[in-house]
């Protein structure tokens, strides 16, 4: 396969294929005032107890990797990318008082200035002979050459202690640029990196920073808080190669694999699943309302880590009013958490995992490495809710009555609120990390959480299991997310949305039903495009648009209510003494769309909500069906809209209406209740 001159599958600075061997140097600052003396047995003056924990120094064909980072990239790439490493056989100690800067140059100089003609690593690899020189780098995203260039590919300095860099447990970087500091016969290095890793087994910071060399800059952070201009106001957990310390899992996602062109050797398609009838491969990069490629709407997803199986569905209607709005996709993966695999954390259960991708689609050409960070949003089986927070106790609380499937937060959201000065503005850094969550008056057992009782870091509620369903009458639903471009500066004054932001909840008929957990670990799913019947009572918040035919089942209720979760960072309204950063909810029935309200069903407009019927839209109310317009809420019906049936419109005393009764063929009744 010939790739374009700039293509994400070429890799950002390093190629995401072939073999690389990192030259690792373990170092410390002697007499550092931040010296913890030892963590995990790493004592001063010594190499860590298991210096090969991170990398295998070699890997024969068919051999399974042992080093945790070697294993990570080997599994993620289906063996296409082999990241090896070997370490300098001695601990390099630099006196704290003699260090200027962060100490990396002095460590490199000390190793390079040894009396020997060559530098030999622990397992006998030679710097001079090119055992750490496999590739030649080029411009970001351009094809790389797999041949030596007299530059060490990457030198990685891992510090036991270095408060010149950080006093935290871990921190670091990988450079996307050459460093021309001679190392014996090598002219320099294609990249260099430096990490403080007091607990030498904390590999996630190294995995994160190294992944920048493959994927891109800070604008590729996702699956946790990270630097860069954000797609959303809030941060979220989740998982990805560039997820951070606020992630719910260290594992890579299907977006990562697609970005780098990593697919299983047995697969023809980058995104695929299996046909339940004959187990054949099906391409599953799906567009709403398309004919399914195998003549059925059922699919088998095998374990994602082992096979790469995934389903992607583009969410509809986002660009109806502007083609500048970023597109969105729902991704589905099956994680079975097999012992030998790098996968989700301890409390996170086996099952179906879902997330939404926003933008970040370009894989070739000028925009390949542009765009905003935080472009994936986890869809949790926990559901979305309005939360009540307590800053003093750092607890959040919710209940079924605060269900908010469209604009609420789930357990993996690092949500924004007007904290600190309570100044009527929400800045980027005004995020609330819940230490504990109360659900319907109860605290879940700590065994349900990956880390203490913090919900953000992953829980037993994240995955969908047999019998679960994503749909328009469920929480969560497969609808478009609201986005809000947020500056990379923590104290930049919040501003209005930009033209790429989506500010509308577009209803659709997508449903995903988890039919069966199979004995071999596979998950059988049913996907529908026409699941437009509301069979459960729902509370909806937001600016909601209906483009299709919707049926409200007999006796069921849609409550349109004021959302309490922030959807904008400025201009709050005061409701019951609280500043609410969200508009009243609205339900717009667009031209050609309609609602069928079956017997005794109710559409309730509460707390300033509005129902708006555009021309050539319709509502049919069967006997006993009610549209109830509560105090301060409103109903607007275009003269060319059709409202018929034997039901009623009930207007409270303070309700507002904009309609011509001669065009409304149902009874309108005022009520003081």
Specify burial of residue 582 (Cβ count, 10 A radius: 0-12, 13-18, 19+). buried
Does residue 525 have a pLDDT over 90?
Answer: yes
Confidence band, pLDDT 50/70/90 cuts, at residue 38? confident
Give every CB contact of residue 486 below 8 A, 6+ residues apart in sequence.
229, 230, 231, 232, 233, 428, 494, 569
pLDDT tens digit sequence for 365-424 = 888 999 999 999 999 999 999 999 999 999 999 999 999 999 999 999 999 999 988 899
Q: Is the pLDDT of residue 609 over 70?
A: yes
Paired residues of 558 in beta bridges: 538, 603
User: At residue 673, does pLDDT exceed 70?
Assistant: no
594-607: pLDDT as tens digits:
999 999 999 999 99
Residue 384 has what pLDDT? Answer: 98
Helix 204-215 to helix 68-76 angle, to the nearest 10 degrees?
40
**CA 379/CA 159 separation, integer angstroms:** 37
Q: What percent of the chain stands above pLDDT 90? A: 89
Strand partners, 588: 545, 612
Integer Cα distance of 63 and 82 in angstroms? 12
CA atoms within 13 A on the CB side of 607: 19
Please give the pLDDT value at position 2. 53
- Taking residues 485-499, what's their average pLDDT? 92
**CA 216, 220, 225, 226 torsion-angle sign:** positive
372 Cβ partners below 8 Å, 6+ apart? 219, 228, 229, 230, 231, 359, 360, 485
Q: pLDDT at position 226, please?
A: 84
Query: Model confidence over 182-219: pLDDT tens digits?
Result: 999 999 999 999 999 988 888 999 999 999 999 999 99
Q: Tokens 């699956």 correspond to what residue?
A: 223
In this structure, the number of other CB atoms found within 10 A of the CB of residue 348 comes to: 25
For the chain, give the number of residues. 673
When the pLDDT of each residue in the chain is averaged and rounded to a whole number, the result is 95
CB–CB of 264/453 below 8 Å? no
> Cα separations (Å) of 381 from 177, 411, 473?
42, 9, 14
Q: In angstroms, rounded to a whole number, what is the distance separating the alpha carbons of residues 170 and 151?
A: 28
pLDDT, residue 151, reads: 96
Buried b (16+ CB within 10 A) or exposed e, 195-218: bbbbebebbbbbbbbbbbbbbbbe
Residue 650, phi then psi, degrees to nearest 5: -105, 120
Instruction: Identify each DSSP E strand in 509-601 by its residue range.
Output: 511-517, 523-528, 533-534, 538-540, 543-546, 549-552, 557-560, 573-575, 578-580, 586-589, 594-597
Q: What local confidence, expressed as pLDDT, does residue 4 receive?
A: 65
pLDDT of 1 reads: 55
- Mean pLDDT over 490-511 rounds to 95
Q: Which pLDDT score, from 0 to 100, does residue 420 have?
A: 81
* pTM assigned to the model: 0.96
Q: What is the 3-class SS of 343-388, one letter each residue?
A: CCCCCCCCEEEEEEEECCCCCECCCCCCCCECCEEEECCCCCECCE
Distance of CA 328 to the CA centre of its chain: 12
Distances (CA, A) of 289 to 270, 314, 532: 21, 10, 13
The helix (H) or strand (E) run that includes residue 110 is helix 104-112
Give the per-residue pLDDT at 444. Answer: 96
Task: Please report the pLDDT score of residue 562 as a whole number.
Answer: 97
pLDDT digits (tens, 9 = 90+) for 132-146: 999 998 889 999 999
SS3 content of the chain, % helix, strand, coil (to 5): 10, 30, 60
Tokens standing for residue 337? 């958490």
Question: For position 335, what pLDDT does the model report?
Answer: 98
Which residues are CB-neighbours of 501 under 8 A, at least 6 positions away? 325, 326, 482, 483, 484, 485
What tens digit of pLDDT does each residue of 102-129 get? Answer: 999 999 999 999 989 999 999 999 999 9
Q: How far apart are CA 554 and CA 340, in angstroms?
A: 50
CA atoms within 13 A on the CB side of 232: 30
Over residues 324-336, the mean pLDDT reads: 98
pLDDT of residue 62: 85
Judge whether 11 and 260 are in contact, CB under 8 Å: yes
Dihedral sign for Cα 216, 219, 220, 221, please: positive
* Alpha-carbon gap, residue 657 to 666, rounded angstroms: 14
pLDDT, mean of residues 238-248: 92
State the Cα–Cα distance between residues 28 and 50, nearest whole angstrom: 16
Q: What is the mean pLDDT of residues 35-40?
A: 86
CB atoms within 10 A of CB 185: 15
Cα–Cα dist 22/432, whole Å: 38
Are residues 205 and 158 in contact, defined by beta-carbon separation less than 8 angstroms?
no
Q: Among 413-427, 610-624, 654-668, which stretch is predicted with the lowest mean pLDDT?
A: 654-668
């Amino acid at each position: 396969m010939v790739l374009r001159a700039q293509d994400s599958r070429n890799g950002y600075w390093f190629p995401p294929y072939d073999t690389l061997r990192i030259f690792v140097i373990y170092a410390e600052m002697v007499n550092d005032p931040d010296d913890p003396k030892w963590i995990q047995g790493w004592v001063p003056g010594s190499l860590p107890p298991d210096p090969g924990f991170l990398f295998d120094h070699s890997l024969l064909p068919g051999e399974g990797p042992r080093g945790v980072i070697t294993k990570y990239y080997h599994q993620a790439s289906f063996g296409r990318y082999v990241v090896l490493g070997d370490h300098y056989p001695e601990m390099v100690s630099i006196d704290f008082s003699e260090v200027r800067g962060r100490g990396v140059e002095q460590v490199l100089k000390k190793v390079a200035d040894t009396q020997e003609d060559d530098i030999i690593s622990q397992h006998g690899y030679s710097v001079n002979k090119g055992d750490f020189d496999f590739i030649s780098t080029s411009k970001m995203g351009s094809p790389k050459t797999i041949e030596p260039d007299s530059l060490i590919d990457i030198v990685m300095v891992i510090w036991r202690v270095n408060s010149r860099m950080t006093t935290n447990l871990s921190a670091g970087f990988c450079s996307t640029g050459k460093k021309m500091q001679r190392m014996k016969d090598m002219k320099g290095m294609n990249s260099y990196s430096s990490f403080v890793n007091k607990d030498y087994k904390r590999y996630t910071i190294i995995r994160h920073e190294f992944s920048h060399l493959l994927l891109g800059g800070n604008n590729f952070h996702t699956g946790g808080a990270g630097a860069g201009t954000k797609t959303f106001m809030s941060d979220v957990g989740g998982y990805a190669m560039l997820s951070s310390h606020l992630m719910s899992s260290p594992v890579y996602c299907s977006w990562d694999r697609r970005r780098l062109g990593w697919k299983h050797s047995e697969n023809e398609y980058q995104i695929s699943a299996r046909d339940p009838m004959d187990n054949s491969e099906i391409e599953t990069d799906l567009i709403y309302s398309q004919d399914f490629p195998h003549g059925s709407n059922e699919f088998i997803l095998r374990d994602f880590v082992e096979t790469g199986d995934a389903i992607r569905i583009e969410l509809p209607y986002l660009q109806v009013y502007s083609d500048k709005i970023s597109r969105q996709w729902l991704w589905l993966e099956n994680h079975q958490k097999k012992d030998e695999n790098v996968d989700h954390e301890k409390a996170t259960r086996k099952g179906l995992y879902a997330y939404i991708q926003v933008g970040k689609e370009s894989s070739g050409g000028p925009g390949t490495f542009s765009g905003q960070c935080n472009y994936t949003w986890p869809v949790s089986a926990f559901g979305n809710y309005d939360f009540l927070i307590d800053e003093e106790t750092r607890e959040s609380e919710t209940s079924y009555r605060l269900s908010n499937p469209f604009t609420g937060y789930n357990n993996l959201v690092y949500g924004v609120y007007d904290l600190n000065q309570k100044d009527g503005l929400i800045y980027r850094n005004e995020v609330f990390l819940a230490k504990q969550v109360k659900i319907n008056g109860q605290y879940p057992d700590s065994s349900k959480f990956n880390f203490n009782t913090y919900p953000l870091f992953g829980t037993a509620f994240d995955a969908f299991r047999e019998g679960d369903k994503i749909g328009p009458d469920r929480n969560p639903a497969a609808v478009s997310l609201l986005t809000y471009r947020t500056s990379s500066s923590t104290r930049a004054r919040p501003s209005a949305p930009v033209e790429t932001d989506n500010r509308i909840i577009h209803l659709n008929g997508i449903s995903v039903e988890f039919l069966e957990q199979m004995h071999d670990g596979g998950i059988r799913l049913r996907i529908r495009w026409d699941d437009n019947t509301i069979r459960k009572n729902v509370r909806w918040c937001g600016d909601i648009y209906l483009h299709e035919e919707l049926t409200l089942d007999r006796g069921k209720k849609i409550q349109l209510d004021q959302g309490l979760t922030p959807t904008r960072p400025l201009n709050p309204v005061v409701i019951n003494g609280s500043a609410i950063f969200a508009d009243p909810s609205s339900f717009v029935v667009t031209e050609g769309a309609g609602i069928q309200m079956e017997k005794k069903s109710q559409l309730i407009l509460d707390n300033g909500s509005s129902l708006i019927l555009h021309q050539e839209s319709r509502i049919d109310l069967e006997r006993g069906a009610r549209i109830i317009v509560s105090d301060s809420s409103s109903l607007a019906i275009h003269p060319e809209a059709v409202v018929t049936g034997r039901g009623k419109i009930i207007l409270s005393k303070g309700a507002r209406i904009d309609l011509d009764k001669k065009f409304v063929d149902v009874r309108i009744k005022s009520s003081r209740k």
